[in-house]
């Protein structure tokens, strides 16, 4: 792995260089108000909010010890965030078809060596995409079960119509996240046909249903993907998920409980 080309490591190196030993006070990430003893003697700092505990007796630390403690804490936090990013990258790999937008391949932080060209998925996009994919898988599983039921019933009775599955051909399964790039009307309509009920109340146009709190309430249905999205089409109007080409369509086939 090319360390220099990795923006994460590069930024880290910069930061480490900046906030190295003895240089804590006068650096971008170490603001002027920075006070390592604030843990002991809380000073009016930006981050302070109500509810803080200031009465807790703590051991006095020398400036060197405070600095060392601060570096240690920072290092832990850095490591934690790096682990989080590793997990995020692993998720991106699964969602990689979305990362291959042809536009703007020049960005140094767009992709890693060996990765497909195009803009890297943002964190929020990766998460929203993954969620959508999971919901689609669930829907496909549901539909498959339903069709299996049809098949077995047809074979058992032997008088019914030919199972629709055999006529239409193929399972409505998702072979991979790349299918999220396609117009998923087929998937969605099949899902809709299996679901009976009550669509949830309409969601505000300004609010992305993908980001709504209900786990199954706003399932895959309100979101339709278009292949045009991968080529840099308009973004989701919700302004939050920032995924290309969301359209919030109507009746949501609900994810069966």
User: Judged by CB under 7 A, how many residues of this single chain contact DNA?
Assistant: 58
The CB-of-196 to DNA minimum distance in angstroms stands at 36
Q: Is 94 in the site for DNA (CB under 7 A)?
A: no
In whole angstroms, the minimum distance from the beta carbon of 217 to DNA comes to 21
Is 101:230 a contact under the CB 8 Å cutoff? yes
Pick 73 or 155: Cβ nearer DNA: 73
76, 102, 152, 249: residue in contact with DNA (rule CB under 7 A): 76
Q: How far apart are alpha carbons 217 and 210 in whole angstroms?
A: 10
Neighbouring CB atoms inside 10 A of 90's CB total 9
Q: How far is the CB of 219 from DNA (least distance, A)?
A: 23
Q: Is 231 in the site for DNA (CB under 7 A)?
A: no
DSSP state of 34: -
120 binds DNA (CB under 7 A): yes
* Residue among 100, 83, 98 nearest 132 (CA): 98
> Where would I find the H helices in the chain?
7-18, 63-94, 123-157, 164-168, 185-194
Among 1, 4, 59, 159, binds DNA (CB under 7 A): 59
Q: Are 128 and 241 in contact (CB under 8 A)?
A: yes
Helix (H, G, I), strand (E, B) or coil at 227: helix
Among residues 26, 64, 65, 77, the one that binds DNA under rule CB under 7 A: 77
User: Is the CB of 99 or the CB of 147 nearer to DNA?
Assistant: 99
Residues 136 and 180 sit within 8 Å (Cβ to Cβ) = yes
Q: From residue 125, how far is each of 220, 241, 256 by CA, in Å?
A: 15, 6, 25
Q: Which window, 107-115, 174-182, 190-198, 206-214, contacts DNA (CB under 7 A)?
A: 107-115
Residue 130 vs 252, nearer CB to DNA: 130
- 210 alpha carbon, distance to own chain's centre: 11
Binding mask 6-45 for DNA (x = CB under 7 A): -xxx-xx--xx--x----x---xxxx--xxx-xx--x--x
Q: Of the candidates 82, 168, 186, 231, which one interacts with DNA according to CB under 7 A? A: 82
First to last CA, the chain: 45
- Helix (H) or strand (E) run with residue 247 in it: strand 247-248
123 makes contact with DNA (CB under 7 A)? yes
107 binds DNA (CB under 7 A): yes
Q: Rule CB under 7 A: which residues touch DNA?
A: 7-9, 11-12, 15-16, 19, 24, 28-31, 34-36, 38-39, 42, 45-49, 51-54, 58-59, 70, 72-78, 80-82, 85, 103-104, 106-110, 120-125, 232, 239, 242
């Amino acid at each position: 792995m090319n360390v220099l080309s990795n923006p994460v490591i590069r930024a880290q190196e910069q930061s480490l260089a900046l906030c190295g030993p003895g240089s804590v006070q006068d650096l971008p990430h170490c603001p002027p108000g920075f006070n390592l003893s604030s843990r002991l003697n809380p000073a009016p700092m930006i981050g302070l909010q109500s509810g803080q505990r200031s009465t807790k007796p703590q051991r006095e630390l020398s400036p060197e010890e405070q600095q060392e403690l601060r570096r240690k804490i920072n290092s832990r936090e850095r490591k934690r965030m790096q682990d989080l990013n590793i997990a995020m990258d692993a998720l991106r790999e699964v969602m990689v078809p979305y990362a291959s937008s042809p536009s703007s391949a020049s960005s140094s932080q767009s992709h890693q060596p060996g990765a497909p060209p195009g803009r890297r998925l943002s964190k929020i996009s990766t998460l929203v995409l993954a969620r959508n994919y999971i919901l689609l898988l669930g829907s496909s599983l549901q539909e498959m079960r339903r069709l299996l039921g049809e098949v077995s019933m047809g074979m058992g009775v032997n008088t019914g119509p030919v199972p629709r599955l055999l006529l239409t051909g193929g399972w409505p399964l998702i072979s991979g996240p790349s299918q999220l790039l396609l117009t998923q009307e087929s998937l969605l309509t099949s899902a809709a046909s299996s679901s009976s009920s009550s669509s949830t109340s309409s969601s505000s146009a300004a609010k992305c249903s993908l980001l709504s709190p209900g786990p199954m309430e706003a399932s895959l249905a309100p979101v339709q993907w278009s292949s045009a999205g991968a080529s840099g089409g308009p973004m989701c109007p919700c302004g939050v998920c920032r995924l290309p080409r969301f359209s919030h369509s109507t009746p949501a086939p609900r994810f069966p409980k």
